[in-house]
Amino acid sequence: MNITAITLAEAVGLLQNQEITSVELTEAVLDRITAVEPFIQAYLTLDRDGALRQAEQADRARQNGVAGPVCGIPLAVKDTFCTTSMPTTCGSKMLENFTAPYDATVVTRLKQAGAVLLGKLTMDEFAMGSTNENCAFKVPHNPWKLDCITGGSSGGSAAAVAADECFASLGSDTGGSIRQPASLCGVVGMKPTYGRVSRYGVVAFASSLDQVGPITKDVRDCAVLMNVISGHDPLDSTSMNEPVPDYTDTLADGLQGLTIGIPREYFRSELLDPDVERTVRQGVALLKEAGAEVIEVSLPHTEYCVAAFYLIAPAEASSNLARFDGVRYGYRDRDAESLLEMYTRSRSKGFGDEVKRRILIGTHALSAGYYDAYYRKASQVRTLIREDFSKIFARCDLIASPVTPTPAWKLGGKANDPLALYLSDILTISANLAGIPAMSVPCGFSSKGLPIGLQLQASHFNEAALLKAAFNLEQRAGVTGKKPVIV
Ligand code: GLN
Tens of pLDDT along 331-364?
Answer: 999 999 999 999 999 999 999 999 999 999 999 9
Architecture of domain 3-252: Alpha-Beta Complex (3.90)
Average pLDDT over every residue of 405-416:
95
Centre of ligand 1 to C-alpha 80, Å, is 13
For ligand 1, atom 10, name the residue with the nearest CA.
Answer: 128
Pocket test for ligand 1, best of 81, 90, 153 (most atoms within 8 A of CB): 153
Q: What is the pLDDT of residues 14-45, one digit of tens each?
A: 999 999 999 999 999 999 999 999 999 999 99
Atom of ligand 1 nearest to the CA of 205: 9
Pocket test for ligand 1, best of 121, 123, 124, 357 (most atoms within 8 A of CB): 124
Centre of ligand 1 to C-alpha 428, Å, is 9
Q: What is the pLDDT of residues 258-273, one digit of tens each?
A: 999 999 999 998 999 9
Residue 68 has pLDDT above 90, yes or no: yes
Centre of ligand 1 to C-alpha 191, Å, is 13
Residue 480 has pLDDT above 90, yes or no: no
- To the nearest whole number, what is the mean pLDDT of the chain? 97
pLDDT at residue 25, as a whole number: 98
Q: What is the pLDDT of residues 179-221, one digit of tens each?
A: 999 999 999 999 999 999 999 999 999 999 999 999 999 999 9
pLDDT at residue 59, as a whole number: 98
Active site residues: 78, 153, 177
pLDDT band for 228, please (50, 70, 90 cuts): very high
Centre of ligand 1 to C-alpha 132, Å, is 10
* CA 199 – CA 400 distance, rounded (Å): 27
Angle of helix 305-320 relative to helix 353-366, nearest 10 degrees? 100
pLDDT at residue 138, as a whole number: 98
Cα distances (angstroms) measured from residue 437 to each of 10, 163, 196, 258: 26, 26, 9, 17
Atom of ligand 1 nearest to the CA of 429: 5
pLDDT at residue 83, as a whole number: 98
Residue 1 has pLDDT above 70, yes or no: no
Note the pTM of the prediction, 2 decimals: 0.98
List Cβ neighbours of 462 (8 Å cut-off, separation of 6 or more): 193, 397, 437
Q: What is the pLDDT of residues 277-315, one digit of tens each?
A: 999 999 999 999 999 999 999 999 999 999 999 999 999
* CA 321 – CA 302 distance, rounded (Å): 28
Q: What is the pLDDT of residues 102-157, one digit of tens each?
A: 999 999 999 999 999 999 999 999 999 999 999 999 999 999 999 999 999 999 99
Centre of ligand 1 to C-alpha 306, Å, is 11
> Which amino acids bring their CB within 6 angstroms of ligand 1?
127-130, 153, 173-177, 205, 313, 425
* CA 227 – CA 222 distance, rounded (Å): 9
Atom of ligand 1 nearest to the CA of 128: 4
pLDDT at residue 330, as a whole number: 87
pLDDT at residue 172, as a whole number: 98
pLDDT at residue 235, as a whole number: 98
**What string of H, E and C letters represents the secondary structure of 34-103?**
HHHHHHHCCEEEECHHHHHHHHHHHHHHHHCCCCCCCCCCEEEEECCECCCCCCCCCCCHHHCCCCCCCC
Atom of ligand 1 nearest to the CA of 424: 1
pLDDT at residue 329, as a whole number: 82
Q: What is the pLDDT of residues 423-472, one digit of tens each?
A: 999 999 999 999 999 999 999 999 999 999 999 999 999 999 999 999 99
Average pLDDT over every residue of 145-170:
98
